Amino acid sequence: MKKILALIFLMVCVSIAQEKFTNPILMGFYPDPSICKVDDNYYLVNSSFSYFPGIPVFQSKDLVNWKLIGHVLDRQEQMNTNGLGVSRGIFAPSIRYHKGIYYVTCTLVDAGGNFIVKSKEPSGPWSNPVWIPEINGIDPSPFFDDDGKAYIVYNSVAPDNKPLYDGHRTIRIIEFELENLKVKGREHILINGGTDLSKKPVWIEGPHIFKKDGYYYLIAAEGGTEDNHSEVVFRSKNLFGPYESYKNNPILTQRHLDPNRNNPITSTGHADFVVTDEGNWWAVFLGCRPYEDGYYNTGRETFLSPVKWIDGWPIINPDYEEVQYFYPYPTKPATDFATRQYSGNFTFVDDFDDEKLAGDWIFLRTPKEIWYSLKEKKGFLRIYLRPETCSGKGNPSFIGHRQQHIKSSAETKINFRPESEFEKAGIVIFQNEKHFYYLCKSKNKLNSTIQLFKSTSGNDIELIEEKIIPEEIQSDDLFLKIVSEGKEYSFHYAWKEGEWHTFENKLDASFLSTKVAGGFVGAVFGVYATSSGKESNNKAFYDYFLYRGNDDIYNSNK
What three-state secondary structure class fits 176? strand
For residues 228 and 247, what is the distance between their CA atoms, to the nearest angstrom? 18
Burial of 57 (0-12, 13-18, 19+ CB in 10 A): buried
**Rounded (to 5) percent helix, strand, coil in the chain:** 5, 45, 45
**Residue 4: in which H helix or E strand, if any?**
helix 2-18
Query: Which residue in the list 32, 62, 222, 388 is annotated as catalytic?
Result: 32
Cα separation values, 218 from 45, 156, 190, 231, Å: 20, 15, 9, 11
Helix (H, G, I), strand (E, B) or coil at 516: helix
Rounded Cα distance, 504 and 161, in Å: 52
**The pairing of beta strand 182-192 with beta strand 215-222:** unpaired
The 3-state DSSP class for residue 12 equals helix
Asked if 288 contacts 266 with a C-beta cutoff of 8 angstroms, the reply is yes
* Beta-bridge partners for 350: 545
φ and ψ of 486, to 5 deg: 75, -100
336 is annotated as an active-site residue? no
Strand partners for 468 = 449
Active site residue 205: yes
Q: Which residues of 513-536 are buried (b: 16+ CB within 10 A; e: fewer)?
A: bbeebebbbbbbbbbbbbbbeeeb
* Three-class secondary structure of residue 448 per DSSP: strand
Question: What span, in angstroms and rounded, lies between the C-alpha atoms of 317 and 304?
Answer: 9
* DSSP tag of 295: B
Task: Give the CA distances from residue 305 to residues 49, 286, 328, in Å, rounded to whole numbers and listed in that order.
Answer: 25, 11, 10
**DSSP annotation of 323:** P
Which entry of 74, 205, 301, 411 is annotated as an active-site residue? 205
The bridge status of strand 381-384 relative to strand 372-373 is antiparallel
For 17, phi then psi, to 5°, come to -65, -35
In whole angstroms, give the CA distance from residue 507 to residue 10.
53
CA 286 – CA 229 distance, rounded (Å): 10
Quickly count: other Cβ atoms within 10 Å of residue 88's Cβ.
18
Report whether 383 contacts 529 (CB < 8 A): yes
Distance, CA of 16 to CA of 328 (rounded, Å): 9
CB distance 440 to 493 below 8 Å: no
CA distances from 393 to 85, 268, 515, 534 (A): 6, 30, 22, 16
The residues annotated as belonging to the active site are 32, 205
